[in-house]
Structure 1
Amino acid sequence: MKPTPFIAVEGPIGVGKTTLTQLISSQFHYHTLHEIVDENPFLSKFYENIEEWSFQTEMFFLCNRYKQLEDIQQLLQKQKPVVADYHILKNLIFARRTLTANQYDKYERIYHILLESLPMPNMMIYLKASVPTLLNRIELRGREMEQNIEPSYLEQLSIDYDHHMNAFQKKYPSIPIIELNSEEADFVRNPAALAEIIEKISYSMNNR
C-alpha cells in the first residue's frame, strides 16, 4: 500500500514556496499547510539584531512547527494527503547560522527529541533562485519585517540550503527531491512549466 502523500516545498526566503504549494494543492486537491511567520513576535527584532534575538525567534518557530507536524500526522492517519510550504528541516538551517555554539547544541537536542515519531515527507520540492530575484520578490510582497534583509544574508542562506538538502538526500535516499530553479521554471506565468512540474510530481508518486 502506497503511503499517503506528504509533500514539502522548501527553499530560501522569497523563492515562491507558498505560491507553488497553492498550485500543487489546487491540482491534486491536497490539504495545504502554511508556515507560520507573521505570528512570531520576535521576527522583526531578529532582522534588526540577529545575535540578540535569534534564540527566541528559533524556539518560537520550532514549537509552532512541531504543533503543525502533529496536525499533519493526524491528517495522514486519516489518509488525507498534505502539501506544506516548508519542512521543519529549515529550523536547523537557520539555527546553525544564527545561534551560538552553545545555543545550537541545546537547540539541536530539543529539535531531535520533538521530532521523534513525527512524520517525514515522502517528497521534497527544492526551489532555488538568484539573490537579485529573491530580493525583488521580497520587496514586492511587502512584508515590512523583511525589508532590512541583506543580500549577503540571502546568499549565505542559499548556500546553507544547498548543503542541507544534499545532507538530507544522503540521510534519506528513499525520499525523492525535485530541484527546480523558479526563475527558469516560471510556474506562475508559464502553464507549460507548471504542467511539467505536476508531471514530475505525479511520476514520482506513482513510482514509489
Structure 2
Amino acid sequence: MNNVEFHGFRIKLRRGRGYKNFRLSYRGLDDILLSAPKSSSIKECMKFLEDSKQWLVAHKSTQYTIHKDKIFLFGEWIKSELQVLDEWNRLWLYNDKKIVEFYRLKLQEYISISLPKFSKLLGLYPSDVVYGKSLNTLGSCYTVSKKIRFSLRLSLMPYYVIDSIIIHELTHLEFRGHDCNFWNFVAQHDINLVATKTYLKTNSGLNRYIAKKLFKN
C-alpha cells in the first residue's frame, strides 16, 4: 500500500486484483483510501483523484464537525444527560470505558426490539447475539453455531442501517455466501437496501473516526 499527497489530502493507495474499478472511501478524519485495479498506474490513479476533487472537498467540509455540546448516537448529534456528555468530552483526552458501555446498552436495547421482529418476518432465528468492536465488519454470522455478532459501530448509524445489517446477517442463516439467491432474499425484505448502501458509502469518514475514538483506544 502506497501513501500519496493530493491537494492537502492524505491518500492511501491500495491496488489489487479484486478491484475492478476505482473507489474512494474515508478511513479516518484525514485518511482516505483509494482502491484501484492492480494494473492501474500511478498516473491513472492521480487522474481519478483529480476528477474526484470536488467530491473530496464536499465530503470533508460536511462530515468532520465534532460537537462538544452533543454526542453522536444513531446517526445524529443529540443532546444527552450531563454525565454522558461529560464522559463524551473526556474521550478526546483519554479512553473512558463508561461511555463504551453506554453505547453498548443503547445498541442492545434497539437490537433486542428490532431483531425479533425481523426474525419472525424472515423465519430465521439466531442461537445467540454478541457484540464486538470491529471497525471494518458491521456484522458477522457464524453459520455452524447460528450465532450473530454485531459491531458497536452500529450504534453510530441510523436505525434503518441497523435494520439492514440485521436482515443481512439473518439471511446468512439461510445462505452462506453472497450469491444471487442471497441478494434476492435480502431485497425481498429490506426496503432500505439502497438507502443503506448510500449511507455507508457517503458517511464512513466521521463514523469511522468516532468509532475509533470510542472503541479502539
Q: TM-score range by the shorter chain?
A: under 0.3
**TM-score of the superposed pair, with normalisation by structure 2:** 0.25
Is the helix fraction higher in 1 or 2? 1
For the pair shown, the structure with the greater C-alpha radius of gyration is 2
**TM-score of the superposed pair, with normalisation by structure 1:** 0.26
